[in-house]
Structure 1
């Protein structure tokens, strides 16, 4: 499986009763496909996977697969607090039709690197008809997918890539050079995307693509066509709004961006609170500077 292009980390829209709004989700998906995305990651961080029940997660993933069909690569997030829970969720996701799974370290347990290696080994042994994309996001999990883990699985045929969301560009550079023949590198640090592609990333798993798919897909097209100056200019225009997202309330700002783009994503589930009027004002100004 090739990790290529722009893969939006899909939001989960909610209606006024806080139920999943599948009509809004379909609108957002179709808009992004029209812009040129390569596929989607469902039930990742931006999709508020932690706030949905197991049944809701499978409903979202089933709807995503049905809506996209063969028009893009699909990856499902399947995380949890312990190894057995993650394995059960991966089996359920696989039975929904997914073969590509994004797996971060278990939250709260704080496994050592040895324990994290064992965690992934158990997953690969228990579910043998899936591809695993490692997910390094220590800000969320407080555990690094360290180089011991990368060394252990560098020749495993079903550990196909890593989404690097640490914010540490040096890690991205090292993975893109030392492990270029072992892992497909996907950018997960949106404000560093241009640098990631310079150092060997082939894809961008991207929350902001929910509300800026045209610009982000154009960035990818220009970069892969060899127009680095053009790609850099697009990233320079996007940087102020992406930097705002990275300051905090990321998911709320992605959803507000979808609203400003004409969609109906609703709010976020608790504990996340809505943006304040001042936060909306600042974000809207950055959004309109890009979209006019």
Structure 2
């Protein structure tokens, strides 16, 4: 089983003034994240506006990130689609490029039953033979990858982990204890990431890493070396910004945070709307300890 560890940013996708993917800005962004200590890359997830891009754009983003990656950096591609056949096609393209795994939520818009979720993921495994990190985000997808589905998938060798983004700590504890040694718990609820670490999450697929990579990587490193006091101190320092992120317009705030860090990555695509001046001021104030990070 592929062992997942460290902070892997759920990457934003930079766009230029014309609304096209800005690969120059993307390269600078990735270089800054690498310098901060990330362990891998997760392009074309929800933070990357994958659902607002065309198939050729998604493929170009995946290839760019793959070409940038160094040996030893974990590569996890978002390959979601509205249909099982679309997920299979996207996953096969990522596999051909050399990605180590894919990150998959339930197909969006459909709100499948647990039985349909099981059948969907088994079909993807059968058609692709690719390692899968499940992505449970009921607030966005309208349905949870529940214990019924996880029980049925836990012994599938290709199901290697689950990014748990419900924001409910009890779910993280339940997954960690119920599937120990079978499904890796991946932190996906950023404002309680320290708590996830306490319950065995060795990896963090982290949207906020786009604009606060140094402290989140330092927090992860402190926890791994056993300095739990320092890890909690860092979580306390960054929690206000995390909390503002979780209050709404998450992707817009990620991109504004990159701008605050001196690495503008453009605006989000419609239907995402811009931040108001008040929203910018609120997030900038919460980000100040991060901007001052040394």
TM over 0.5: yes
2:177 is the alignment partner of 1:177: yes
Asked if 1 retains the 8 angstrom alpha-carbon contact of 2:133 and 2:161, the reply is yes
> Which runs of structure 2 are paired with 1:195-234 in the superposition (5 Å)?
195-234=195-234
Asked if 1 retains the 8 angstrom alpha-carbon contact of 2:25 and 2:264, the reply is yes
Match of 1:155 in 2: 155
Asked if 1 retains the 8 angstrom alpha-carbon contact of 2:220 and 2:231, the reply is yes
Aligned mates of 2:239, 2:247 — CA distance in 1: 12
What secondary structure, in the 3-state scheme, does the structure 2 residue paired with 1:205 have?
A: strand
Match of 1:288 in 2: 288
Aligned mates of 1:62, 1:85 — CA distance in 2: 18
Aligned length: 291
Match of 2:73 in 1: 72
Match of 2:26 in 1: 25
What secondary structure, in the 3-state scheme, does the structure 2 residue paired with 1:211 have?
A: helix
2:51 is the alignment partner of 1:45: no
Deviation at 1:143, TM superposition (A): 1.2
Aligned mates of 2:252, 2:127 — CA distance in 1: 36
2:119 is the alignment partner of 1:121: no
Asked if 2 retains the 8 angstrom alpha-carbon contact of 1:175 and 1:185, the reply is yes
What secondary structure, in the 3-state scheme, does the structure 2 residue paired with 1:177 have?
A: helix
Structure 1 alignment gaps of length 5 or more: none
Deviation at 1:291, TM superposition (A): 2.1
Match of 1:16 in 2: 17
2:255 is the alignment partner of 1:255: yes
Could you say what the CA RMSD is over the residues aligned between the two structures, in angstroms? 0.9
Deviation at 1:68, TM superposition (A): 1.4
Which segment is superposed worse, 153-162 or 10-19? 153-162
Deviation at 1:99, TM superposition (A): 3.1
Aligned mates of 1:4, 1:174 — CA distance in 2: 20
Aligned mates of 1:110, 1:9 — CA distance in 2: 23
Structure 2 alignment gaps of length 5 or more: none
Asked if 2 retains the 8 angstrom alpha-carbon contact of 1:58 and 1:96, the reply is no
What secondary structure, in the 3-state scheme, does the structure 2 residue paired with 1:116 have?
A: helix
TM-score (norm 2): 0.97
Deviation at 1:71, TM superposition (A): 4.7
What secondary structure, in the 3-state scheme, does the structure 1 residue paired with 2:274 have?
A: coil
Q: Could you list the runs of 4 or more consecutive aligned residues of structure 1 that deviate by over 4 angstroms after TM superposition?
A: none
What secondary structure, in the 3-state scheme, does the structure 1 residue paired with 2:124 have?
A: helix
What secondary structure, in the 3-state scheme, does the structure 2 residue paired with 1:46 have?
A: helix
Match of 1:54 in 2: 55
